[in-house]
Amino acid sequence: MSRGNSETMIKDTIKKLYEDDTFLSELKEEERKRSFRSFSEILTTPNKILKAYLRIPMDNGEIKRVEAYRVQHNNLLGPYKGGIRFNPNVNEEEVINLATLMTLKNSLHNLPLGGGKGGVAIDPYQLSNREKHLISSKYVKYFADILGPDIDIPAPDMGTGEKEMDWMMATYKTIHPKEEYAGSFTGKSVDNNGIKGRREATGKGVFFTFKWLMKDLLEKSNVKNEKTKLIESVSKKENIEVAIQGFGNVGSVTALESYLCKDLNIKVVAVSDRNVTLYNKDGLDVEKLVKYASKHIDLPSNEELLKKAEVEAEVLDRTDILTMNVDVLFLAALENQIREDNMKDIQANIIVEGANGPITKEADKYLKENNVIIIPDILANAGGVIVSFFEWKQSKEVEFYDIELVYEMLYKQMERTFEEVMVAYLENDYSLRENAYITSVKRLANRVYRHGKLF
Ligand code: NAD
């Protein structure tokens, strides 16, 4: 993922805000021009980029050098917050872009948090538990000075989960023995100061934004135009056929929510992971697939394994899922999946971004021109950071929330943002992504201005 994606989007958004002379209208002419230029500099520059080489004694006796990053993009709204991913493709540009998206996401959803992100360039599928433990612990040792409950609070992302967060918090506690430590990491296990529902939160939020688009929005809004016509044509179908790319933390929960949803006529016809796409035109048994993947990590990838999982499906290539003839495509694997080379083959009318940055800017422009509705990452996949925020609050209040309350608070917060963006979207010519950026950047610009930083 190139850093250009979020940077270009931010610059375009600031231009739109500049042209809207009702925004920050107290600033006049030259002063306003200068202020917007300054704001662009602030928002497109990360505050800090930290890189370390972790030296890890591997199980085979060799020492391996592993690149690790923490990028603190912006803390205008509160402490830096964002996940740590373990993936072989991690690099500086990617982590900067992901940290920038976190600043935008947290602002969009009105969280008192800034944006940060971390990454380790390693393939977690090739590591033993001991090796993963060492990497998690070394990561915290190397970045200990810049982390902390009121400074920078990491969480899980691709290739990491509650186990890694538990190990990281334990290391943090050893390094800072006299300090409060429960709020130093979120996404921990419930037995270790975690919060109920964090693991499911992102996938649930992704599915709910889609459900609100299909159902509640049309019930609540009086607007009738091409956009509502398209939404209505999908929502009224006898079978809304959906495909979900990625079957990890986010994708498997999104798939299960789609499968279990009683309010819409959804049929999950395809799911995929790093190895295969599974397809069944009559619908897949997602419950059985979730049960299988929770034991074996990956989806069943051949006839024998499908039998073992008691699932009927055709086994296809992992990329086949992207261009299938379905109504809705959930992207919940990784970035840059829809690009110039495959954008013209996309058949879905609605795409929901569970992953961060799964569509390149060229493809985003093309799909917008072809009236595909895209619920963007910063709007759809914020469930994780919102529940992480509740976990962080819980650690400060020393009080534990029950799961019903967690979901109630999550849906309330996400639906509020969704409606705010949707009202604008139905009435202007911008895409949902452009509207989400406008809402988010406006909040940040206002804050910078109130802090007296724009001259
Ligand atoms: P995960 O590691 O749990 O799952 C990733 C899934 O993608 C797995 O099923 C894997 O097999 C699949 N995959 C990997 N490489 C692939 C490839 N080349 N083609 C197709 N599939 C592939 O990760 P996750 O936590 O579910 O995160 C998925 C995405 O969602 C990432 O972009 C992440 O940044 C984003 N996200 C995650 C969270 C969270 O709370 N975990 C929150 C917000 C956004």
Average pLDDT over residues 214-240: 88
Give 90 Cα–ligand 1 centroid separation in angstroms: 13
CB of 124 shorter than 6 A to ligand 1: no
Q: Answer yes or no: is pLDDT of 163 > 60.
A: yes
Q: Say how far apart CA 110 and CA 53 lie, in whole Å.
A: 35
Which mutation among 108, 158, 297, 329 tests ligand 1's pocket best, with the greatest number of atoms within 8 A of CB? 158
292 pLDDT band, cuts 50/70/90, is: very high
Could you report the per-residue pLDDT of 241-284, keeping only the tens digit for each? Answer: 999 999 999 999 999 999 999 999 999 999 999 999 999 999 99
pLDDT for 86:
98
Residues 6+ apart with CB under 8 A from 239: 265, 266, 267
Burial of 260 (0-12, 13-18, 19+ CB in 10 A): exposed
pLDDT for 30:
86
- % residues pLDDT > 70 (the chain): 99
Active site residue: 117, 138, 267, 442, which one? 117
Sign of CA dihedral 417, 419, 420, 424: positive
117 is known as an active-site residue: yes
CB of 254 shorter than 6 A to ligand 1: no
4 pLDDT band, cuts 50/70/90, is: low
CB of 384 shorter than 6 A to ligand 1: yes
* Residue 118, H or E segment: strand 115-120
Could you report the per-residue pLDDT of 294-350, keeping only the tens digit for each? Answer: 999 999 999 999 999 999 999 999 999 999 999 999 999 999 999 999 999 999 999
pLDDT for 92:
97
Give 409 Cα–ligand 1 centroid separation in angstroms: 24
- Residue 91 has what DSSP assignment? -
Strand 276-279 relative to strand 373-375: parallel, antiparallel, unpaired?
Answer: unpaired
Closest Cα to atom 23, ligand 1: which residue? Answer: 158
Average pLDDT over residues 434-455: 89
Sign of CA dihedral 204, 210, 216, 221: positive
Kindly give the interhelix angle for 249-260 and 198-211, rounded to the nearest 10 degrees: 50
CB of 185 shorter than 6 A to ligand 1: no
455 pLDDT band, cuts 50/70/90, is: low
| Average pLDDT along the chain | 94
- % residues pLDDT > 90 (the chain): 86
pLDDT for 80:
98
